[in-house]
Amino acid sequence: MSSPLRREEVAYVAKLARLSLSEDELDLFTEQLGQVLEHASDMKSLDLDNVVATAHPFGLVNVVREDEVRPSLDRDEVLAMAPDARDGRFAVPRIMGEAP
Amino acid sequence: MKTAVQIASDVRSGASSATEELRTSLEAIRARNEELHVFLYVDEEGAEAAATRVDALVAKGDDPGALAGVPLAVKDNMCQRGIPTTCASKILEGWRPPYSATVVDRLVAAGALLVGKTNLDEFAMGSSTENSAFGPTRNPLDPSRVPGGSSGGSAAAVAADMTPLAIGSDTGGSIRQPAALCGLVGVKPTYGLVSRYGLIAFASSLDQIGPFAKTVTDAATLLEVIAGHDPMDSTSLPEPSPSLVAHVNDGVAGKRVGLVRELIDGADQEVIDAVGRALEALRDAGAVTTELSIPELRLGLSAYYLIAPAEASSNLARYDGVRYGLRVDAEDVTAMNEATRTAGFGAEVKRRIMLGTYALSAGYYDAYYGQALKVRTQMIDAFARAYGQVDLLLGATTPSVAFAFGAKTSNPLSMYLSDVFTIPTNLAGEAAISVPFGTGEAGLPIGVQLLGPGRSEAQLFSAARVLERADGRP
């Protein structure tokens, strides 16, 4: 049976998910993810137009609290666990490209 | 090996001490941890300090708590301040959380001795611990077989008599399945009963923390300590911890119990036979037993393997090399994110992120994720109809006894099928317990599963206790 998933789609999804896959991984994932989607096809054909979707087991309502200042995590302790931190902030490689 | 209840009683009465109980536990860990690979981190120093505190409280005549001096193992996807917490992933290797999970705080306050962090499938994605980035855990009952997963290390800690209690997390069966494969009691509590604050998220609408123990009473004792409202978890149920231990010996007289055809279909014959004998045992104890069919449960696996990866793809977006854990340097931030995630995540985590990203992507959302959410509604409604007829449901926990290493690793779908009987409870947000009942192939334990509606834990423990006694454990 042909996979419900095309290799190009897997490559595109990997890009969305910020993962780079080797050629072999692309082949393997196309096959394996295809099998899972194939299994899920038992669901696709159901007529569920009148069924309400459940994103959460109990109908949650918003939980609010008083807007008051409370102690939070120690900044230095949190930043100490970061791969790179400068001047009390998380530091990352450059975000913008070079000026043309 | 003493039960947790015995240890706490001995420590409180002075017949034993926390220091002495800890020594026994650490000796057992030293004896077999290398062979079984149960713990990713053993915190001897912290546990010794905790034992000293408990012994000092006893000496002063103060109450050291319900778990006084009880050594306990914590799955390594729960934060313990200052203690390495990895989720069995390279992406979090070396990270020490700046805060503790609510369950950790509650365990410490109850006098438990946290001896270390246990192995798991990376980010709790798996059913065998073979997906741990640091190598699998072996089943203490037969080291050539898996302990189940994802909470395989926690199950193995109890099965190997390293600790009488452990906690795990259950998103699709990750407590009940390893409990069954290791011959233990394992509980997936009602969604929201136990705070998830400090539990590293996998699938937030499904994840729930629960206990492993050798006896039903020990499991109830542990759940009572960790359950109850927590303002730090907005999905936490509003009420305080329920009374569970007091109901363990209530029995099942007059209770209606239904064996569910879909919760044994496809299981090995020896498992089906065990479930049949469990139904008889409940009937002998005064339950009104019946058999029923809930066809909607057949769609559970399909719905779960879209919903859980969808939520995971969102939850795991936070591992981007910026705030904690691994960073692989690259010329710009996007390349750094990609290089970090590619190097840090294992194959199964990547598969699930990919599956979830696909299911949520434009053009496929309605067909996959949207449809799965509707199936979830149908499952909840079907359970509600069943609980209109019976009080509790009975089925198998797993299709087979513990399987061999490598048996299911080449085909992810076959591994996913290990959870076919446990997934529906997570989708419905309800409660279930796995209790050992008889043995199968090679003398390995079989687990049977009791399911109940939300907040039915007391009834589940009563029924599980009946099965425990019927299986010859007084």
Q: If you write DSSP's letter for every residue of B306-350 in order, what string do you get?
A: HHHHHHHHHHGGG-SSSSSS-----SSHHHHHHHHHHHHS-HHHH
Domain ranges of chain A: 7-44
Residues ≥6 apart with Cβ < 8 Å to A28: none
CA A65 distance to own-chain centroid? 29
The answer to whether residue B75 is catalytic is: yes
Which residue out of B17, B25, B75, B456 is catalytically annotated?
B75
A64 has a pLDDT exceeding 90:
no
- Residue B391 tokens read as 């009080």
Question: Are residues B354 and A13, on separate chains, in Cβ contact within 8 Å?
Answer: yes
CATH architecture of residue range(s) A7-44? Orthogonal Bundle (1.10)
**CATH topology classification for B4-243:** Amidase signature (AS) enzymes (3.90.1300)
| CA separation for the pair A44, A46 (Å, rounded) | 6
- Residue B158 tokens read as 């109890």
Cis peptide before B150 (omega within 30 of 0): yes
From the CA atom positions of chain A, what is the Rg in Å? 23
Pick B412's closest partner by Cβ from A32, A43, A77: A32
| CA separation for the pair B447, B434 (Å, rounded) | 6
Which residues does chain B have within 8 Å of residue A76's beta carbon, measured at their own beta carbons? none
First to last CA, chain A: 50
| CA separation for the pair B104, B123 (Å, rounded) | 18
A60 touches chain B (CB under 8 A): yes
CA-angle at B214, arms to B208 and B218, nearest 5°: 70
Instruction: Name the pLDDT band for A88 (thresholds 50, 70, 90).
Output: very high
Between B61-65, B206-210, B363-367, B399-403, the lowest mean confidence (pLDDT) is in B363-367
Tens of pLDDT, residues B121-132:
999 999 999 999
Pick B98's closest partner by Cβ from A20, A81, A95: A81
Which residues does chain B have within 8 Å of residue A7's beta carbon, measured at their own beta carbons? none
Question: Are residues B95 and A33, on separate chains, in Cβ contact within 8 Å?
Answer: no
| CA separation for the pair B412, A36 (Å, rounded) | 8
Q: Determine the pLDDT at residue A63.
A: 84
CB pairs under 8 A between A and B: 161
| CA separation for the pair B134, B88 (Å, rounded) | 6
Tens of pLDDT, residues B206-217:
999 999 999 999
- Residue B68 tokens read as 């006084």
CA-angle at B139, arms to B421 and B303, nearest 5°: 25
| CA separation for the pair B410, A35 (Å, rounded) | 12
Q: Which contiguous run of DSSP H or E holds residue B414?
A: helix B412-416
Task: Say what percent of chain B tops pLDDT 90.
Answer: 97
A9 touches chain B (CB under 8 A): yes
Which residues does chain A have within 8 Å of residue B334's beta carbon, measured at their own beta carbons? 18
The answer to whether residue B410 is catalytic is: no
In what side-by-side order are the strands of the sheet with B113-118? Answer: B39-42, B113-118, B71-75, B165-169, B209-213, B185-188, B431-439, B445-452, B392-396, B256-260, B288-292
The answer to whether residue B408 is catalytic is: no
Q: For chain A, what is the mean pLDDT?
A: 89
Q: Which contiguous run of DSSP H or E holds residue B432?
A: strand B431-439
Q: Determine the pLDDT at residue A42.
A: 85
A60 has a pLDDT exceeding 80:
no
Asked whether the CA dihedral B450, B293, B382, A47 is positive or negative, the reply is: positive
Look at residues B202, B200, B135 and name the one whose alpha carbon lies nearest to residue B173: B202
Which residues does chain B have within 8 Å of residue A92's beta carbon, measured at their own beta carbons? 322, 333, 336
- Please give, rounded to a whole number of angstroms, the shortest distance from the CA of B303 to a CA of chain A: 7
B282 has a pLDDT exceeding 50:
yes
Instruction: Name the pLDDT band for A98 (thresholds 50, 70, 90).
Output: low
Residues B145 and B159: beta-carbon distance below 8 Å:
no
A62 has a pLDDT exceeding 90:
no
**3-class SS at B396?**
strand
Residue labelled with tokens 């290791």: B182
| CA separation for the pair B344, B364 (Å, rounded) | 28
Look at residues B201, B165, B172 and name the one whose alpha carbon lies nearest to residue B69: B165
**3-class SS at A63?**
coil
- Residue B257 pairs in a beta bridge with B289, B392
Mean local confidence (pLDDT), B29-50: 98
pTM: 0.97
Which residues does chain A have within 8 Å of residue B302's beta carbon, measured at their own beta carbons? 39-40, 42-43
The 8-class DSSP code of residue B404 comes to: B
Which residue spans within B158-297 are E strands per DSSP?
165-169, 185-188, 209-213, 256-260, 288-292
Question: What are the two backbone dihedrals, phi and then psi, of residue A99, each rounded to the nearest 5 degrees?
Answer: -65, 140
Query: Could you give the count of Cα atoms lying within 13 Å of B39 in the half-sphere of its Cβ?
Result: 28
Domain ranges of chain B: 4-243
A59 has a pLDDT exceeding 90:
no
| CA separation for the pair B125, B174 (Å, rounded) | 9
Query: Could you give the count of Cα atoms lying within 13 Å of B305 in the half-sphere of its Cβ?
Result: 29
Q: Say if strands B256-260 and B288-292 run parallel, antiparallel, or are unpaired.
A: parallel
Question: Are residues A17 and B192, on separate chains, in Cβ contact within 8 Å?
Answer: no
Residues ≥6 apart with Cβ < 8 Å to B143: B35, B36
Q: Determine the pLDDT at residue A58.
A: 77
Q: Determine the pLDDT at residue A44.
A: 78
Mean local confidence (pLDDT), B345-363: 95
Q: Determine the pLDDT at residue A3.
A: 64
| CA separation for the pair B452, B464 (Å, rounded) | 12
Q: Determine the pLDDT at residue A100.
A: 59
A100 touches chain B (CB under 8 A): no
Pick B99's closest partner by Cβ from A29, A55, A73: A73
Instruction: Name the pLDDT band for A1 (thresholds 50, 70, 90).
Output: very low
- Please give, rounded to a whole number of angstroms, the shortest distance from the CA of B367 to a CA of chain A: 6
Pick A10's closest partner by Cβ from B331, B354, B368: B354
Here the ipTM equals 0.93
Residues B251 and B466: beta-carbon distance below 8 Å:
yes
Q: For chain B, what is the mean pLDDT?
A: 97
DSSP states along B121-162: SGGG--SSSTT-TT-PPPBTTBTTB---SSSHHHHHHHHTTS
Residues ≥6 apart with Cβ < 8 Å to A62: none
